A = this chain, B = another copy of it.
Amino acid sequence: MFAVIMAGGVGTRFWPHSREKKPKQFLRIFDQRTLIQQTYDRLLPVIPNERIYFVLNTNQKAELLRQIPQAEEENIIIEPFGKNTAPCIGLAALHIQRQDPEAIMVVLPADHLIRNIATFQKVLRVGEKFLQQQDYLVTIGVTPDRPATGYGYIQFSEPIAEIDGIPIYRVKTFAEKPTLDTAQRFLRSGDFVWNSGMFIWKAKIILEEIEEFLPEFYDGLMEIENHIGQPTYWEVVETVYRQIRSISIDYGVMEKSRRVCVIKSDLGWSDVGSWDEVHKLVDKDKNGNGIVGEALVKDSRECLIFSTDKFIAALGVENLIITESEDAILVCHKDQAQNVRELVELLKRKKLKNLI
């Protein structure tokens, strides 16, 4: 089995820590290891280093090699610019299929958190076994523990197989991020799981599905394939990427394909979408304050304090995110955590280049 770590994200919601050259996946948020290092670490017992691929853009390569020096040069696939997950996955499948026409590949974001690592590894092994016999597109679904409105959902129907005691279900529908009402209904129904954005399939099968549902992009991929290993390769990739539209694999393929199934799992998973999510995930004191680094809170509640080199004191405040990076400090109401990206837009408009 091969792995493809999608590491090209350029999320800005973790400003001031996330920057253009150092997006979320390269940050140390919950651990001494960064999110991408953790992603790599938990694959290693299942997939050897030489079969772990990374897809990212030119800007991010140096940081990747700093954080994962073992990454093999020929396993680093560069995109000229991000066009969402479908192109990223198609390009990786192309390269992997050349290594092994029957290759099974797991695709996963570099910037998610998984706390139940053994469960995750078992899911990979189950998926691999299943795909040695079948040509399905397997999605990894996460059993929801709350009516989250920030995630997409997958509705499953009957089991189509069981491997090592783990059932694999046929997928009925994909649902976009729901309203709270809808999310509550999903949770009650019992047949919805969160879409983790992690998939397992044979490289050749996802390419077949891309051919069917994204034929123009497939033509581009074939054009790229003709130039692999040639001096013209990069120019062709750039031309193809300029022409294709930005589209997710979920919307482009998964929602349309008739051979999608799901493994339900309890991964302790989060996409760590914004600072308020970090507040949910860290340990908290009896007043709901979560502290990372050196800090002191007094008469304060429901705050996340994230210090790096300076000591942070909070006095008489609530529902704040207080976070400090090497060169900047953010104080943000928890309800506004989603709007940090707009703050970064504002910094861009003000041409504060050092800060973005």
The reply to whether A332 and B314 contact each other, CB–CB distance below 8 Å, is yes
Binds B, one of A43-51, A124-132, A201-209, A304-312: A304-312
Copies in the complex: 2
Of A16, A331, A342, most B-chain CB atoms within 10 Å: A331
| Separation of A335 and B299 alpha carbons in the complex (Å) | 12
The reply to whether A347 and B312 contact each other, CB–CB distance below 8 Å, is no
> A343 with B313: in contact, given A299-B336, A322-B329, A331-B331 (CB under 8 Å)?
yes
Question: Does residue A340 face the partner (Cβ distance < 8 Å to B)?
Answer: yes
Scan residues 303-355 of chain A and give those whose CB is less than 8 A from a CB of chain B. 307, 310-317, 320, 322, 324, 327-333, 335-336, 339-340, 342-343, 346-347, 350, 352, 355
The reply to whether B312 and A329 contact each other, CB–CB distance below 8 Å, is yes
The reply to whether B313 and A330 contact each other, CB–CB distance below 8 Å, is yes
| Separation of A353 and B314 alpha carbons in the complex (Å) | 18
Of A316, A333, A343, A346, most B-chain CB atoms within 10 Å: A316
Question: Does residue A282 face the partner (Cβ distance < 8 Å to B)?
Answer: no
The reply to whether A313 and B350 contact each other, CB–CB distance below 8 Å, is no
> A317 with B296: in contact, given A311-B355, A352-B311 (CB under 8 Å)?
no
Question: Does residue A298 face the partner (Cβ distance < 8 Å to B)?
Answer: yes
User: Hey, what's the 0/1 contact readout for A274-302 against B, CB within 8 Å counting as 1?
Assistant: 00000000000000000000001011000
Q: Which of B15, B315, B336, B355 has a CB less than 8 Å from the CB of A332? A: B315
The reply to whether A327 and B298 contact each other, CB–CB distance below 8 Å, is no
| Separation of A332 and B320 alpha carbons in the complex (Å) | 11
The reply to whether A329 and B324 contact each other, CB–CB distance below 8 Å, is yes
The reply to whether B296 and A346 contact each other, CB–CB distance below 8 Å, is yes
| Separation of A316 and B346 alpha carbons in the complex (Å) | 14
Q: How many residues of A contact B (CB 8 A)?
A: 35
The reply to whether B317 and A331 contact each other, CB–CB distance below 8 Å, is yes
The reply to whether B331 and A314 contact each other, CB–CB distance below 8 Å, is yes
The reply to whether B315 and A350 contact each other, CB–CB distance below 8 Å, is no
The reply to whether B332 and A317 contact each other, CB–CB distance below 8 Å, is yes
Of A328, A340, A342, most B-chain CB atoms within 10 Å: A328
Q: Which of B15, B316, B352 has a CB less than 8 Å from the CB of A333? A: B316
The reply to whether B307 and A329 contact each other, CB–CB distance below 8 Å, is yes
The reply to whether A335 and B313 contact each other, CB–CB distance below 8 Å, is no
Which residues of chain B are near A327, meaning CB under 8 Å? 310-311
| Separation of A299 and B331 alpha carbons in the complex (Å) | 12
Instruction: Identify the closest chain B residue to A321 (Cβ).
Output: B315
| Separation of A331 and B355 alpha carbons in the complex (Å) | 21
Which residues of chain B are near A312, meaning CB under 8 Å? 328-331
18 new A-B contacts, CB < 8 A, other than A313-B343, A316-B333, are A15-B313, A298-B342, A298-B343, A307-B329, A310-B310, A310-B324, A311-B329, A312-B330, A313-B331, A315-B331, A315-B332, A315-B343, A316-B332, A316-B335, A317-B331, A317-B333, A320-B331, A322-B331
- Report 15 cross-chain contacts, Cβ distance below 8 Å, ordered by A residue: A16-B313, A299-B339, A310-B329, A311-B327, A312-B329, A313-B329, A313-B343, A313-B347, A315-B336, A315-B339, A315-B340, A316-B339, A317-B320, A317-B331, A320-B331
